Structure 1
Amino acid sequence: MKPPELIDGAKVLEWVWSGDNPFGVVKTCAGEVAFEIYGLAICQYSGDLVVYRFSCDKNWETVQDDSYISIDEAKEYLPAQYQCVKATWTCSDKTT
């Protein structure tokens, strides 16, 4: 599923959707599943030098985020918990 142009006010540069099965889950401190992650988006706020990787639910709502110095770094440091489905990234200019 294609993401919106902006997520949390940041422009989507690259994204990936897991399909029917989530990339992984975010658990509570008690170990229960709190969120399933279906969308990953690398985004950048206007005027910001860093990029952010947003981990999103089925509605492209951000569940977690982290900042990186480059797009490549954001892809390289994908947490093990989000590797249940292989990520094949799409540039946002290919989604229009």
Structure 2
Amino acid sequence: MIVPAHLDGAKVIMYVDNDVNRPIAKMLYEEDNGSSKEIIITGLALAKYDNSNNYYLFLCDKNWEVYQDFDMGSIEESLHSSIASFELNNSDWKYV
């Protein structure tokens, strides 16, 4: 699936291919009604809001729906964190 230009209003700068055959992580997501479901994270994106100096690491499902985001101080911090947390390589990240 093609990476969107924006996620949650932030401009996507870099991404990891969203491949359902290569799950990155699993997480439990709590619905508004209190129930929870397991989400398979298959895509990551690094994005920036126009009014912010920080970068955000987005964890997404196969449809690029955001389920978690992390506020990061820099691109380098985002890449380092994702590589350490999700067993990725620098070469997994691509610029939009």
If the length of structure 2 is used for normalisation, what is the TM-score?
Answer: 0.79
The offset of 1:27, in angstroms, is 3.0
The offset of 1:21, in angstroms, is 2.1
Which whole-Å CA distance do the structure 1 matches of 2:17 and 2:11 have between them?
17
Letter in structure 2 aligned against 1:71: I
* Counterpart selection for 1:54 from 42, 55, 58: 58
What residue ranges of structure 1 are gaps of 5+ in the alignment?
none
Which whole-Å CA distance do the structure 1 matches of 2:7 and 2:29 have between them?
24
Aligned to 1:8: 8
Identity among equivalent pairs (%): 32
Which whole-Å CA distance do the structure 1 matches of 2:18 and 2:4 have between them?
16
Aligned CA-pair RMSD: 2.1
Q: Is the CA contact (8 Å cut-off) linking 1:25 and 1:33 kept in structure 2?
A: no
Q: Is the CA contact (8 Å cut-off) linking 1:40 and 1:54 kept in structure 2?
A: yes
Letter in structure 2 aligned against 1:3: V
The offset of 1:24, in angstroms, is 1.2
1:33-44 aligned at under 5 Å gives the runs 34-44=38-48
Letter in structure 2 aligned against 1:21: R
Q: In the superposition, relative to structure 1, how do residues 28 and 64 fare at CA in structure 2: closer, same or farther (>3 Å)? A: closer
If the length of structure 1 is used for normalisation, what is the TM-score?
Answer: 0.79
Letter in structure 2 aligned against 1:8: D
Indicate the SS of the match to 2:77. Answer: helix
State the aligned residue count.
87
Which whole-Å CA distance do the structure 2 matches of 1:7 and 1:28 have between them?
18
Summarize deviations over 1:11-61 as a string: whole Å, max 9, x none: 0000002521211111369xx861100110000011210000000000000
Which whole-Å CA distance do the structure 2 matches of 1:65 and 1:5 have between them?
16
Which whole-Å CA distance do the structure 2 matches of 1:3 and 1:36 have between them?
17
